[in-house]
Amino acid sequence: MSTTQSDRLRGLLEPLVAARGLDLEEIELSKAGKRRMLRIIVDSDEGVELDACAELSREVSDKLDESDAMGEDEYVLEVSSPGADRPLTEHRHYVRATGRLVKFQTADGGELIARILGVDDEGMDLEVPGVKGRKATTRRIAFADIAKARVEIEFNRKDKKEEEA
């Protein structure tokens, strides 16, 4: 999608998304056969429920129909939350991932898997799991030292709410 069209769509849709207390994370326009696919990714600190995506989708559809932002050609609209394994790129992504296990690619080419304990303006405090019976250790990492980061999916981790019950 051209930068101009992306900026235009963002300018048109961001107020709708913000009015629902959500962040507009991404706008992606691609070809799907003869049709175009417009994918809008939204998120919030509390996550996004399916009903909220459906309601927002109707509002976005109406707004796009009122404007000529998508032109006359057919398109498919998809409004969803980001996948669990999406890259962490913004400060708010790290804050939302607090308590989660994350795989970091460091700026020096290294790799680190650790749980985010806390996030501030400069970086974050991590808990690095112990290996072969050793205790976990804590570590600090600055945002400047992170090349890439992605949440690791954990299938067998107990939620803190379950542990407290």
- Quick one: the chain helix, strand, coil %, rounded to 5? 30, 35, 35
Return the higher-pLDDT residue of 1 and 82: 82
89, 82 contact by CB (below 8 A): no
Q: What's residue 159's pLDDT?
A: 55
Give the mean model confidence (pLDDT) for residues 81-105. Answer: 89
Q: Give the pLDDT band of residue 140 (cuts 50, 70, 90).
A: very high
CA distance 40 to 75: 13
pLDDT of 16 above 80: yes
48, 81 contact by CB (below 8 A): yes
N-terminal to C-terminal alpha carbon distance within the chain: 48
Give the mean model confidence (pLDDT) for residues 70-84. Answer: 85
Max CA distance (Å), the chain: 62
Q: What's residue 31's pLDDT?
A: 83
Return the higher-pLDDT residue of 117 and 3: 117
Return the higher-pLDDT residue of 85 and 58: 58
Percent of the chain topping pLDDT 90: 54
CA distance 37 to 27: 10
pTM above 0.85, yes or no: no
Q: Give the pLDDT band of residue 158 (cuts 50, 70, 90).
A: low
Please report which helix (H) or strand (E) contains residue 54, including its range: helix 50-66
CA distance 53 to 163: 30
Q: What's residue 5's pLDDT?
A: 79
CA distance 35 to 81: 22
How many CB atoms are closer than 10 A to CB 13?
23
pLDDT 10s digits, 103-135: 999 999 999 999 999 999 999 999 998 888 889
